[in-house]
Amino acid sequence: MKVCRTKQELKRELKERRKGGYSLGLVPTMGFLHEGHASLLRRARAENDIVVLSIFVNPLQFGPNEDFDRYPRNEAKDLAIAAEQGADLVFAPTVEEMYPSKPLTNLKVEHITERLCGASRPGHFDGVGVVVSKLFHLTAPDKAYFGMKDAQQAAVIEQMVLDLDFDLEVVKCDIVREPDGLALSSRNVYLTAEQRQQAVVLSRTLAAAEGWLQDADLTIEDVMAKVRDAIEEAEQAVIDYAELLHYPSLEEIDPGMRTAATEGQLIMALAVKFGATRLIDNQLYAWERG
């Protein structure tokens, strides 16, 4: 496995390795890898001749009061996981390498960034768009792999790929969870023991919501009230957002609509703080009524 620190080194390695017309899968990450990232690498390994992992904590997607400086980092562990999962190349640049000067180009995907994390973290997805587009240009992947824990990010990137004619497939991979249901996240290390225990309320509420959405006597507003009540039973939980939307458009649903009238693919998306730690989770529900 080769570790590349510069864009030129990465391009040189890829040019040599792709002479045979080999397919390439890209797994973009911010490092501090866990089993969720490992599952992306395994799928990329199974579907491509060459697998590239990027490790880069992107400052453009962090707000001024967010956790860029303290975001967890452990490159030695990351490289060990990458090697174990069969990555061929790891691109691990510095901020100065990725952004030699302050970028003057902005990349904004409208509409689907206006809700959920886009509303509570202004500019976040603009920064995601810039760094992901740079990685796509640098590696020219056939497939790029993203976990569905951040389903809004996956929708934004799919729209960007469509609108800008990137010649690649966005592969969305299932959320990987702990045995008790907590979605794996690099930020889970911030949780105290008590917060970690309470955080399972997210996955439990998402599972319960599927049943509530099948109760024809309830409206969407009724379901969302149940969702908020269930989350707030956890003493330290503070809701940032809890929304039910169409997916991937993230269009709103009339809160007065009966659940029996909903159809297509819906997403229940949650962002909840436990102390200073903000966790996100979601579940997709898909059905045809009739």
| Catalytic annotation, residues | 37
Is residue 265 classed as helix, strand or coil in its secondary structure?
Answer: strand
User: 107 and 129 in contact (C-beta within 8 Å)?
Assistant: yes
- Rounded to an integer, what distance in angstroms lies between the CA atom of residue 290 and that of residue 98? 52
Q: Which of 271, 237, 282 is nearest to 124 (CA)?
A: 271
Q: Which helix (H) or strand (E) holds 232?
A: helix 220-232
Q: Name the one residue in this structure whose structure tokens are 């390795």.
A: 17
Q: Other CB atoms closer than 10 Å to residue 100's CB: what's the count?
A: 9
Number of H helices, E strands in the chain: 10, 9
- Rounded to an integer, what distance in angstroms lies between the CA atom of residue 45 and that of residue 141? 13
- Rounded to an integer, what distance in angstroms lies between the CA atom of residue 239 and that of residue 65? 18
Over its C-alpha atoms, the chain yields an Rg (Å, rounded) of 20
Q: Is the peptide bond before 93 cis (omega within 30 degrees of 0)?
A: no
Is residue 27 classed as helix, strand or coil in its secondary structure?
Answer: strand
Q: For residue 3, give Cα distances in angstroms to 99, 128, 225, 256, 275.
A: 19, 23, 49, 54, 36
* Residue 264 bridge partners (DSSP): 287
Burial class (CB in 10 A: 0-12, 13-18, 19+), 204: middle
